[in-house]
Amino acid sequence: MPTVLPLAGKVAVVTGAGRGIGRAIALGYAEAGAVVACCARSQGELDETIARIAASGGRAAAYAADVTDYAAIVAALARAAAAHGGFDIVVANAGTDTANVSVEDSDPGVWRHIIEVNLIGAYHTAKAAIPHLRARGGGKIIVMGSGMGHRALPARSSYAASKAGLNMLTRVLAQELVAHGICVNELIPGPVRTAMTAGHEDALRAAVGSAEWLKDAADVVPLALFLATQPATGPTGQTYSLTRRDL
């Protein structure tokens, strides 16, 4: 029997595609038949992602851009749409987490930077993508959330606040875009082994509990694929989690 490619004929944009969860989703979408427009700040990391996709027989292109720079992400998505005839799926995955201190001891510049990458970067990505998705007649926006956006945790105020904002952005966008056939959902991967979490595995387990599933980036792909393949009349404004605990 022929291989079924659930994303055949689709074009997907993935931010933060240079490594970690973003790279895994880009690879997974390409294997599912999509053409993947990979966005990240590092051209070198993007080149590696593109090479991996090409080696597996997939199709992808790199669009270097910093999501905190609105003009840059607008230009990157415009180039992607022009090159591929539009796009159908946008994964707002770019993120950072460089602080683990109390509010009292926090650095205001670092605190603001985390908000700018995680929350404002996702807003920039969605705002830049909406006209292209509307021109396509609909599509999917998948926002990379976190359990920390749903419950408090000491010393994680900037990250938690950025992800809590993402949850509400997801819900508002879903309401605004439902009439245009654009579904917007939040994907919460739970703790994942990535370059961002390397060396902090014990702290992660202590924070979320020993029963929590500490997964690899590839383990997030099936849920990302599920959200990308739902019908236009499917779920929107919802949160989907891979965690093993209440959010």
DSSP state at residue 146: -
CA dihedral in degrees (110, 115, 116, 121; nearest 10)? 140
d(CA 158, CA 155): 9
Tell me how many degrees the CA angle 212-216-219 measures, rounded to the nearest 5: 90
59 burial level (CB within 10 Å; 0-12, 13-18, 19+): middle
Q: What are phi and psi of 148, to 5 degrees?
A: -70, -15
Please list the active-site residues: 159
